[in-house]
Amino acid sequence: MSDALTYRSAGVDIDAGNAVVERIKPLVKRTFRPEVMGGLGGFGGLFDLAGRYKEPVLVSGTDGVGTKLKLAQQLGRHDTIGIDLVGMCVNDVLVQGAEPLFFLDYFATGKLDVDTTVAVVGGIAKGCELAGCALIGGETAEMPDMYPPGEYDLAGFTVGAVEKSQLLSGDHIVAGDVILGVASSGPHSNGYSLVRKILDRAGRPLDLDLGGVTLADALMAPTTIYVKPMLDLLKNQPVHGMAHITGGGLKENIIRVVPDGLGIQLDAAAIVLPPVFDWLMREGNVAREEMWRTFNCGVGFTVILSRDAVAGASALLAKHGLASSVIGEIVPAQGDERVHIG
């Protein structure tokens, strides 16, 4: 019959989906750890925990990359946004001392473009390698009419584990502890709705030189994945708490891990804005207070520890290529306002 319908005529190309799977198999395989059982293609990913932990606590996390995805699509840069996706998830579970074990992704689009999809998943696989976790499964969904041409959406999911006795709960944080700020690579994956508005107001000067890096490169720099350096730090230094600086910026994230009755005092002079943040603040006429509650302002992760442990922690992080400096301290809470920057 000439009017017979097929899934392809309805807008879903099964062959393209199969082509994606075949091309990503070697990328995914590079992320596998010895605990991974089986390969791609099953209905569920298998991971063997036997013998690794005495009292394992599983820590899970899920996230996306916000509207940085829009900028990636507008610039045609699909190969690093997957690193952002992994980073946003694994850095979160890391805060409680967990080692990310495996990762799953969800990729949805209106019409599947094989090259774009492989580039995105390749970035996810690279992020998993940087985090030391296995890309154990995922879903590629082609949904006609759900997304405009050339657009796609991403979500990520990770599961980590930590010994119950080593779980970072914040209980050991005390007044007098210091807050060590660890450098970010840029805005990471937060605040991009404001970033894009500032870009449009400024006329999108994406080739602008920011100290040897273009504005486009500075804004698209993938999220730093802190897993391996921080797991090394946890083995060698007495860490009392950690925080991943994401949506809510410096103002709202650090306090999430600080016990009631305590607050934080951040030293504004110690938070030196890297060029990309300085440009965003000037071009957008963004108040400093708004910068602190929107962006990481150059501090992508924080470690709370005693003052006498700072030198050792900074030296260890430097060996991993991460710059760090003291940006504040833990203080007794003063009324309802627990966060002070000045």
- Could you give the domains of the chain? 14-166 (3.30.1330.10), 178-341 (3.90.650.10)
Alpha helices in 132-260 (DSSP H): 192-201, 215-220, 227-236, 249-253
pTM: predicted TM-score of the whole model, two decimal places: 0.94
Per-residue pLDDT at 41: 73
What is the pLDDT tens value at each position of the chain, 342 positions in all? 457 887 787 788 888 888 888 888 888 889 999 999 987 777 888 999 888 899 999 999 999 999 999 999 999 999 999 999 999 999 999 999 999 999 999 999 999 999 999 999 999 999 999 999 999 999 999 999 899 988 999 999 999 999 999 999 999 999 999 999 999 999 999 999 999 999 999 999 999 999 899 999 999 999 999 999 999 999 999 999 999 999 999 999 999 999 999 999 999 999 999 999 999 999 999 999 999 999 999 999 999 999 999 999 999 999 999 999 999 999 999 888 899 998
Per-residue pLDDT at 58: 97
Instruction: Decide: residue 204, CB within 10 A, 0-12 exposed, 13-18 middle, 19+ buried.
Output: middle
Residue type (1 letter), 336: D
Structure tokens at 257: 């891990």
Per-residue pLDDT at 24: 86
CA distance linking residue 187 with residue 298, whole number of Å: 7
What is the three-class DSSP state of 70? helix
Smallest CA-to-CA distance from 96 within 137, 150, 60 is with: 60
Residues in the chain, total: 342
